[in-house]
Chains A and B, each alone.
Chain A
């Protein structure tokens, strides 16, 4: 798993790679925390290289939502079908948009 943060004006883009599960979620969580610390109005999670999102991974979305607040839009782009399905079924509670 790797992750990279690229502040672009008011948008922060974070790339999610590999699997997000109970083993990797805490690390990614820390990286996202640092990435959004400066504030942003739009958070884009690039999931084009994300293979799998487990229950712990889903919780990461909930954590991020609480972290950035409801004024910030969270968009997941490029997710594969299983990830998309998981977010579609359980992500709406976190107000995460799929693109």
Chain B
């Protein structure tokens, strides 16, 4: 082995003190946990409360058998932390892991097993699934190996983007699916590098924040199987099953085979930031890839099962995640682990925020009971490094805990507003009795987020979980046959409507109605109060052919078909136009809940409700017409009125508009009933009303009018 010089050879601790298995070693640095470069060597520090002995296992990259095993001397342990510095390693050709021996008389829940090699939970990179979809050796005893990572990176002047919530427009995307389809035209399809090539598209669309579906290392072959009907190999495509919490998914990197996934991901973040786009990571701390009693032993289970997982008194796993185990997030050790991990991604990768999958689990105590003041959520909310990060909770779990509107927020957390999604969907499909609830959702859900502002409400109509927008208006029910689960998976409560025919159709009337319904959803989303989130591809009509749970399909079914951008150019243009309107009108973005006050002094409240007659909203159950007028100050300081009319009925509605102050007139900024390009106008270039003071909103249509002081034409 070659002795590496670390540039600080004059340090006392740069010299070895012992030799173990032919390697020069000395006591390591207990903190930080994981593998850390120190002068001349690497300090390997691992926590395990239950171990009686720990051994560092070293592999040459890719070789099946270890080339060295170094037992930690007992004197290298402080408390439950074992730390050893090893000198003379070839950093780039090294895989490592641990063997952990437990006590002979096992306490309940102990699963230590010295015959297994465990991955480092703090590994900054993991190998074993370096190239996406490359068939692994399923008999491999140590399939997910820990690797060393150089953490230096030239960020230049990059830093996380701090942006007011009212300017955030989230775009949820799957790194691989976004560019994997050949139609993407990128040089490295399905990778971080491929996504970089599509940044101009995101900028042009008007996106200010991407939310990346899981990019922590996972095993796409977990639970993989072949669909007997089609022969297609089904994978864990979404990745909601983390193997390496500190490691970016190597298979998403064009350079993953070379071990450069960390650099490639950092480059992606840097380029997104350069374009003014924030990066939010979808993180999965509610469970791990180790599954239930029959799952693989990867790391936590062998290190300290009873600490990392919520266990029943008999040692079995509580399963609030629906995946077999539940991460014990409010145990002090695990809390520290999660917090450290988040800080690492914020500091090391400059990410701008996190969306927490099944976040309700994060407020359960070790016995599974919800806590009134969950320490993990509080710690995250007040952490100095995370201070400017977006914190978004999926405020429910698979154990029945539903906390939309009641998730402990500490005035920091926002939530995926599932109720917003359900209400908008039900209104659009024409369900009775929804107009009143729609009003509450359009106003930023003050019933749910009183005192927190509409910034707490992440509004969405579609997300990765469920129908795409195109499918929401084309299918009454799910079509998940290809998942091979006999139709048992995926929600049966989609509040979708196929507009007259199930699935593919060629009836022009049906197609026109579907397009209009999609535009209706977009306009309601982007003109309402709250932080909007779009699902990638919805702007172009991406379909999954009715599959509302496409977690296992790595195929054109889930990939973004970029030819849609051209084929559905009108829809793309409409979405872009609505985003322009949202950006141009601060009143649309105002995150203060309605207060009933007159913000400008013209005698109009900040928010008012209307129907066919102004100031006379109809809250009856059979009403499907609602108009909301918001009032405030425009970007240029002039008073503005934003009038949003939504008609879910099958007849047009003739509206008498509220009388505006003298000299102020409405113009039509967007109207989903109009054909493209008259469906949306550039800010400030709306079309005049046909009849002053009146507007007809078409059947199943939504329109946005802008009232501003009328400028007389110049000479």
Contact = CB atoms under 8 A, between A and B. Distances in A.
B255 A23 contact: no
Contacts of A55: 92, 150, 258-260, 263
Contacts of A51: none
B258 A54 contact: yes
A22 B93 CA distance: 9
B187 to A, nearest CB: 8
B150 A90 contact: no
Nearest to B91: A22
B134 to A, nearest CB: 17
Interface in B457-481: none
B255 A90 contact: yes
Contacts of B270: 93
A92 to B, nearest CB: 8
A93 B259 CA distance: 18
B152 interface: yes
Interface string B145-184: 0000010111010000000000000000000000000000
Given A89-B254, A93-B267, A56 B154 contact: no
Contacts of A92: 267
Contacts of B4: 22-23, 26
Given A90-B267, A93-B267, A56 B150 contact: yes
Nearest to B89: A22
A58 interface: yes
B75 interface: no
B2 A23 contact: yes
A55 to B, nearest CB: 5
Contacts of B187: 88
B264 interface: yes
A86 interface: yes
Interface in A14-30: 21-23, 26
Interface in B595-652: none
B304 interface: no
A23 B90 contact: yes
Contacts of B380: none
Given A56-B150, A62-B154, A89 B264 contact: yes
B92 A86 contact: no
A59 interface: yes
Contact of B263 (A58, A66, A85): A58
Interface residues of B, number: 23
B5 interface: yes
Contacts of B260: 55, 58, 86, 89-90
A23 B267 CA distance: 24
B123 to A, nearest CB: 15
Interface string B1-22: 0101100000000000000000
Interface in A25-63: 26, 54-56, 58-59, 62
A22 B37 CA distance: 13
Contacts of B263: 55, 58, 90
A-side interface mostly: helix
A69 to B, nearest CB: 13
A94 B92 CA distance: 21
Interface string B254-288: 11001110011001001000000000000000000
A94 B152 CA distance: 13
Among B153, B193, B258, B259, the most chain A Cβ lie within 10 Å of the Cβ of B258
B188 interface: yes
A59 B193 CA distance: 18
Interface centre among B4, B5, B154, B187 (most CB of A within 10 A): B154
A86 B259 CA distance: 11
A65 interface: yes
B264 A90 contact: yes
Contacts of A88: 187
A22 B90 contact: yes
Contacts of B264: 89-90
Nearest to B187: A88
Interface string A64-99: 011000000000000000000110111011100000
Contacts of A66: 154
Interface string B80-110: 0000000000111000000000000000000
B154 A54 contact: no
A58 B193 CA distance: 16
A81 to B, nearest CB: 13
Given A22-B90, A90-B255, A59 B152 contact: yes
Q: Output the residue of A22, A56, A66, A92 with the most chain B CB within 10 A.
A: A22
Contacts of A90: 255, 260, 263-264, 267
Given A22-B4, A55-B258, A55-B259, A93 B154 contact: yes
B255 A54 contact: no
B175 to A, nearest CB: 15
B549 to A, nearest CB: 33
B249 to A, nearest CB: 16
A14 to B, nearest CB: 20
Interface string B364-406: 0000000000000000000000000000000000000000000
B150 to A, nearest CB: 6
A56 B92 contact: yes
Interface string B495-509: 000000000000000
A21 B154 contact: no
A90 B264 CA distance: 6
Contacts of A22: 4, 90-92
B92 A65 contact: no
A89 B193 contact: yes
Nearest to A90: B263
A76 B545 CA distance: 47
Contacts of B92: 21-23, 54-56
A86 B260 CA distance: 9
A66 B155 CA distance: 12
A90 B254 CA distance: 10
B327 to A, nearest CB: 31
Given A55-B259, A86-B258, A89-B254, A94 B150 contact: no
A91 B15 CA distance: 35
A22 B90 CA distance: 7
B267 A59 contact: no
B154 A94 contact: yes
A65 B152 CA distance: 14
A12 to B, nearest CB: 21
Interface of B: 2, 4-5, 90-92, 150, 152-154, 156, 187-188, 193, 254-255, 258-260, 263-264, 267, 270
Given A21-B92, A23-B92, 14 more contacts: A22-B4, A23-B90, A26-B4, A54-B258, A54-B259, A55-B259, A55-B263, A58-B263, A62-B154, A65-B154, A86-B258, A89-B267, A93-B156, A93-B267
Of all A-B residue pairs in the complex, the 3 with the closest CB atoms, nearest first, are: A22-B92, A62-B154, A22-B91
Interface of A: 21-23, 26, 54-56, 58-59, 62, 65-66, 85-86, 88-90, 92-94
21 contacts: A21-B92, A22-B92, A23-B90, A23-B92, A54-B259, A55-B92, A55-B150, A55-B258, A58-B260, A58-B263, A59-B150, A59-B152, A62-B152, A62-B154, A86-B258, A89-B193, A89-B264, A89-B267, A90-B260, A90-B264, A93-B156
